[in-house]
A and B are shown apart, each in its own frame.
Chain A
Amino acid sequence: MGQGGEPRRARAYDGELGAAVARAQEGDEAAFAAAYRIVHPGLLGYLRGIVGDDAEDVASDAWLEIARDLGRFKGDGAGFRGWTATIARHRALDHLRRQRVRPRAATLEQDVLDLPGPHSTHEQALESLSTERALELVRALPRDQAEAVLLRVVVGLDGPAAARVLGKRPGAVRTAAYRGLKSLAGRLGAAGVTKDGHRTLGESE
């Protein structure tokens, strides 16, 4: 349904995902599991970026809600990504609100200690990035940039969908994603060369 021939919709799994969701809505359990396997990695990645270690718990809550409300959803595979991301985001914000009421020790210190040394070359940086290091980088970004980058890059939403999830104008989200990625690129690619040169980008916005 509704691929529309647009490049942004011609994504690898969206057709498959849309079909799985449609079957799941008819009651097909295996199809629901298939949709889960397609969508969950992106959702969890997004949640890791905003709630850190509690991402698994928050994702679990989100999936309970997704499973319950599945019949309400209307749309295709790309739409399902957006719908589930919205639910996950609400659960994450609830979680952060609860945390603010009952604060606990930040886990970030440990992550910082585990950081690998600065990459000496660009090529080396491109080879791999540990989950911890990626999280550290994302969490150093201003919140709006981090969320925009995560939704676009990790969840795989297009610009308008990401904007809808965040409740913002597409232009604002595009700018935030662009700045966030640029900042990340600077830290990744030039970490060994420019030292702290990019640190301040984190506070920009």
Chain B
Amino acid sequence: MDTDMGERHSDRTASGRREAHPDTYAHPDTYAGAEGDAGADAAPARLLAVALREGSLDAAAERRAVEAFRAARAEGAHRAARAARTRRRDDWRPREQRGARRSAKATLALLLAALTVGGVTVAAIGAAGPSDARPGVRRAPQSSPSASGTPAPRAPGTPVLTPAPRTSNAPSASATRPDTAGDTTAHCRAWEHVKDRGRALDATAWQRLITAAGGEGKVAAYCAKRLEEATGKPGNPGRRGKPAGRTAAPGGKAGR
């Protein structure tokens, strides 16, 4: 074990007097030189290593260790342990790798945060009109699953805005439809209540709706079609408690 390190030792000792050498050398031969002049340089380290390791390999001891390995393997202990979460004391990966893992986590967290903020923003845009109509309405940002790109169906109990009175007969959007469709139907449902209020129509969401319909006059027809499409969809599980977040507008009829 000593042969290849011999040459390295010699050039190590030349600069070996520096304390706090940036690298830490594990090998006996490079060790003492790297750490500083210990009087006899690497010799004591090497002698110690050789002397204490001498005669250490014993066939019977090795057999016992291998038998233990075999027993653990037969029990499936290795497989089970690998599947388990890594305990800190078992994680001896180089620091760079552990760091990379951490930064991957951080990236994911950042991404999630961005998505959440994005969802809130979209929800806020969608609610721009209604908020004029009824400032007291509480809006839950998480009530916009489509905005955050996760169209997974929500449990009926998910906290959202109180469903507007009309929701019972108003068709609700399915959780699996694409974003724009959800926005559109929601805006369409709210349209009747804001169309006569000039200021509300300035809101971006309404402008977008008008553009999509191809003119203010065509919104009614456009919306009728959209709402029909939405209604035509079979079975909307859990719709009652769900998309109301952006349908806050219907509550607008009670507005000032």
Contact = CB atoms under 8 A, between A and B. Distances in A.
Interface of A: 1-2, 4, 6-9, 11-13, 24-25, 27, 29, 32-33, 36-37, 40-42, 44-46, 48-49, 56, 59-60, 63-64, 66-76, 78-80, 82-83, 86, 122, 125-126, 128-131, 133-135, 137-138, 149-150, 152-154, 156-161, 170, 174, 177-178, 181-182, 184-186, 188-190
B28 interface: yes
Nearest to A190: B39
B196 interface: no
A67 B62 contact: no
A163 to B, nearest CB: 10
A129 B47 contact: yes
Nearest to A188: B44
Given A74-B91, A156-B49, A160-B95, 6 more contacts: A72-B90, A126-B40, A129-B48, A161-B26, A170-B24, A182-B39
B29 to A, nearest CB: 10
Contact of B86 (A72, A80, A137): A72
Contacts of A186: 39
Contacts, number: 221
Contact of A156 (B26, B58, B97): B26
Main secondary structure of the interface of B (DSSP, over half): helix
Contact of B79 (A71, A125, A159, A170): A71
Contacts of A188: 40, 43-44, 47
Given A13-B1, A68-B72, A8 B25 contact: yes
Contacts of B57: 37, 40-41
A156 B71 CA distance: 29
